[in-house]
Structure 1
Amino acid sequence: MGREKFSSRLGFILISAGCAIGLGNVWRFPYIVGQYGGAAFVLIYGVFLLILGLPIVAMEFAVGRASQKSIALSYDVLEPEGSKWHYAKYLGMAGNYILMMFYTTVTGWMVLYFFKMAKGDFVGLDAERVAGEFENMLADPVIMGIFMVIMVVGCFSICARGIQGGVEKITKWMMVCLLGLMAILAVHSVFLENSRAGLEFYLKPDFAKIIEAGIGEVIFAAMGQAFFTLSIGIGALAVFGSYIGKEHRLTGEAISVAVLDTFVAFMAGLIIFPACFAFQIEPGQGPKLVFVTLPNVFNNMAGGRLLGSLFFLFMSFAAISTEIAVFQNIVSFATDLTGCTVKKAVWLNGAAMILLSIPCVLGFNVWSGFMPFGEGSNILDLEDFIISNNLLPLGSLIYLAFCTTRYGWGFDNFMKEANEGKGIRFPRWARAYVTFVLPVIVLVIFIQGYASKFF
Structure 2
Amino acid sequence: MKKRERFASRLGFILISAACSIGLGDVWRFPYITGQYGGGIFVLIYLICIVALGIPILTMELAVGRASQKSIATSFHVMEGKGQKWHLMGYAGIAGNYLLMMFYTTVAGWMLAYFYKFLLGQFSGLDTQQVGQVFVNLLADPFEMTVWMVITTVFCFGVCSLGLQKGVEKVTKVMMTLLFALIIMLAVKAMTLPNAGDGLKFYLLPDLNRMQEKGLWETVFAAMSQAFFTLSLGVGSMAIFGSYIGKERNLYGESINIAALDTSISLLAGLIIFPACFAFGVDPGDGPGLVFVTLPNIFNAMSGGQIWGALFFLFMTFAAYSTVIAVFENIIAFGMDLWGWSRQKSSLINAFLLILLSMPCILGFNVLKEFQPLGAGTDILTLEDFILSYNLLPIGSLVYLLFCVTRYGWGFDNYLQEVNTGQGIKMPRAFKPYFQWVLPVIILIVLIQGYINFFS
TM-based fold match above 0.5: yes
The amino acid that maps onto 1:441 is: I
Q: Report the alpha carbon displacement of residue 280 of structure 1 after superposing the two structures with TM.
A: 1.0
Measured against aligned partners, the alpha-carbon deviations of 1:86-118 in whole angstroms (never above 9, x if no partner) come to 111001110000000000000000001000011
Indicate the residue corresponding to 2:14 in structure 1: 13
Indicate the residue corresponding to 1:55 in structure 2: 56
Percent of counterpart pairs with the same letter? 60
Indicate the residue corresponding to 2:78 in structure 1: 77
Whole-angstrom distance in 1 between the partners of 2:197 and 2:160: 44
SS at match of 2:282: coil
Indicate the residue corresponding to 2:301 in structure 1: 300
Indicate the residue corresponding to 1:151 in structure 2: 152
TM-score by length of 2: 0.99
**Are 2:161 and 1:167 equivalent residues in the alignment?**
no
Whole-angstrom distance in 2 between the partners of 1:367 and 1:407: 45
Indicate the residue corresponding to 2:35 in structure 1: 34
**Are 2:206 and 1:212 equivalent residues in the alignment?**
no
SS at match of 2:123: coil
Indicate the residue corresponding to 2:266 in structure 1: 265
SS at match of 1:424: coil
The amino acid that maps onto 1:24 is: G
Measured against aligned partners, the alpha-carbon deviations of 1:380-422 in whole angstroms (never above 9, x if no partner) come to 0110000000000000000001001111111111011100001
**Residue pair 1:284, 1:293 contacting (<8 A) in 2 also:** no
Measured against aligned partners, the alpha-carbon deviations of 1:104-138 in whole angstroms (never above 9, x if no partner) come to 00000000100001111111111100000000000
**Residue pair 2:7, 2:165 contacting (<8 A) in 1 also:** yes
**Residue pair 2:36, 2:285 contacting (<8 A) in 1 also:** no
Matches within 5 A, 1:164-243: 164-243=165-244
The amino acid that maps onto 1:364 is: F
Q: Report the alpha carbon displacement of residue 203 of structure 1 after superposing the two structures with TM.
A: 1.1
Whole-angstrom distance in 2 between the partners of 1:84 and 1:38: 44
Q: Report the alpha carbon displacement of residue 436 of structure 1 after superposing the two structures with TM.
A: 1.0
Q: Report the alpha carbon displacement of residue 160 of structure 1 after superposing the two structures with TM.
A: 0.3
Matches within 5 A, 1:404-443: 404-443=405-444
SS at match of 2:73: helix
Show structure 1 runs of 5+ residues with no match: none
Whole-angstrom distance in 2 between the partners of 1:396 and 1:196: 39
**Residue pair 2:59, 2:251 contacting (<8 A) in 1 also:** yes
Matches within 5 A, 1:122-161: 122-161=123-162
Measured against aligned partners, the alpha-carbon deviations of 1:190-236 in whole angstroms (never above 9, x if no partner) come to 01122111111001111222122110110111111111111100000
**Residue pair 2:32, 2:288 contacting (<8 A) in 1 also:** no
**Residue pair 2:42, 2:223 contacting (<8 A) in 1 also:** yes
Whole-angstrom distance in 1 between the partners of 2:390 and 2:20: 19
**Residue pair 2:45, 2:220 contacting (<8 A) in 1 also:** yes
**Residue pair 2:33, 2:285 contacting (<8 A) in 1 also:** no
**Residue pair 1:130, 1:296 contacting (<8 A) in 2 also:** yes
Q: Report the alpha carbon displacement of residue 251 of structure 1 after superposing the two structures with TM.
A: 0.6
**Residue pair 2:34, 2:285 contacting (<8 A) in 1 also:** no
Indicate the residue corresponding to 2:347 in structure 1: 346
**Residue pair 1:57, 1:254 contacting (<8 A) in 2 also:** yes
Measured against aligned partners, the alpha-carbon deviations of 1:265-296 in whole angstroms (never above 9, x if no partner) come to 11111101101110112235333110000000
**Residue pair 2:35, 2:285 contacting (<8 A) in 1 also:** no
**Residue pair 1:37, 1:209 contacting (<8 A) in 2 also:** yes
Whole-angstrom distance in 2 between the partners of 1:386 and 1:362: 18
Indicate the residue corresponding to 2:310 in structure 1: 309
Q: Report the alpha carbon displacement of residue 377 of structure 1 after superposing the two structures with TM.
A: 1.2
SS at match of 2:281: coil
Matches within 5 A, 1:70-109: 70-109=71-110
Measured against aligned partners, the alpha-carbon deviations of 1:21-70 in whole angstroms (never above 9, x if no partner) come to 11111110000000001011000000011000000000000000000000
The amino acid that maps onto 1:343 is: Q
**Residue pair 1:298, 1:308 contacting (<8 A) in 2 also:** yes
Whole-angstrom distance in 2 between the partners of 1:381 and 1:23: 16
SS at match of 2:263: helix
Whole-angstrom distance in 2 between the partners of 1:330 and 1:399: 19
**Residue pair 1:114, 1:312 contacting (<8 A) in 2 also:** yes
Whole-angstrom distance in 2 between the partners of 1:144 and 1:340: 31
Whole-angstrom distance in 2 between the partners of 1:339 and 1:82: 25
The amino acid that maps onto 1:98 is: L
The amino acid that maps onto 1:405 is: T
Q: Report the alpha carbon displacement of residue 454 of structure 1 after superposing the two structures with TM.
A: 1.4
Q: Report the alpha carbon displacement of residue 316 of structure 1 after superposing the two structures with TM.
A: 0.2
Indicate the residue corresponding to 2:445 in structure 1: 444
TM-score by length of 1: 0.99
Q: Report the alpha carbon displacement of residue 149 of structure 1 after superposing the two structures with TM.
A: 0.7
Whole-angstrom distance in 1 between the partners of 2:371 and 2:261: 38
Whole-angstrom distance in 1 between the partners of 2:282 and 2:419: 47
Whole-angstrom distance in 2 between the partners of 1:336 and 1:348: 15
Whole-angstrom distance in 2 between the partners of 1:341 and 1:280: 54
The amino acid that maps onto 2:253 is: G
Whole-angstrom distance in 2 between the partners of 1:204 and 1:402: 40
The amino acid that maps onto 2:199 is: G
Q: Report the alpha carbon displacement of residue 82 of structure 1 after superposing the two structures with TM.
A: 2.0
Indicate the residue corresponding to 1:383 in structure 2: 384
Whole-angstrom distance in 1 between the partners of 2:253 and 2:326: 20
**Residue pair 1:298, 1:305 contacting (<8 A) in 2 also:** yes
Whole-angstrom distance in 2 between the partners of 1:26 and 1:370: 30
